[in-house]
């Protein structure tokens, strides 16, 4: 299951040095987010122990959303060694996300 990122744990969990993290910014009312959610869950299982993959509910965690300028959801943010290396806005295929993750490993 995907990690639940929050305003409280984001810095320690997602932005840690020597890690690769994938963060899905979402909300329960967002239709396209519901399409991406199962893909994030699958990838979390496939990359368990290699990549931190999780979700951040923008309604419940406004500080991180504001900090990274998240204006549209779903937004998937790719972080390597504490630095944002890419953002993808909108839905995405599993193959597309896997390709981006693999390029960061």
**Is residue 36 annotated as a catalytic residue, yes or no?**
no
Contacts for 9 with CB less than 8 Å, ≥ 6 apart: none
Asked if residues 14 and 6 have their Cβ atoms less than 8 Å apart, the reply is: no
CA 22/CA 78 separation, integer angstroms: 5
| Annotated catalytic residue within 3, 14, 33, 39 | 33
Strands 20-26 and 75-80: antiparallel
- Active-site residue (options: 30, 36, 53, 76): 30
Residue 30 bears catalytic tag = yes
Among residues 6, 104, 3, the alpha carbon closest in space to that of 58 is found at 6
Query: Residue 53 forms beta bridges with which residues?
Result: 22
Active site residues: 30, 33
């Amino acid at each position: 299951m995907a990690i639940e990122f929050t305003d409280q744990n984001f810095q320690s969990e997602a932005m840690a040095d020597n890690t690769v993290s994938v963060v899905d910014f979402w909300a329960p009312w967002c239709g396209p987010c519901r399409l991406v959610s199962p893909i994030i869950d699958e990838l979390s299982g496939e990359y368990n122990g290699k990549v931190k993959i999780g979700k951040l509910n923008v309604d419940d965690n406004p500080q991180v959303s504001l900090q990274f300028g998240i204006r549209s959801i779903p937004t998937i943010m790719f972080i390597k060694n504490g630095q944002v290396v890419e953002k993808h806005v909108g839905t995405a295929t599993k193959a597309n996300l896997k390709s981006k993750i693999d390029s960061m490993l």
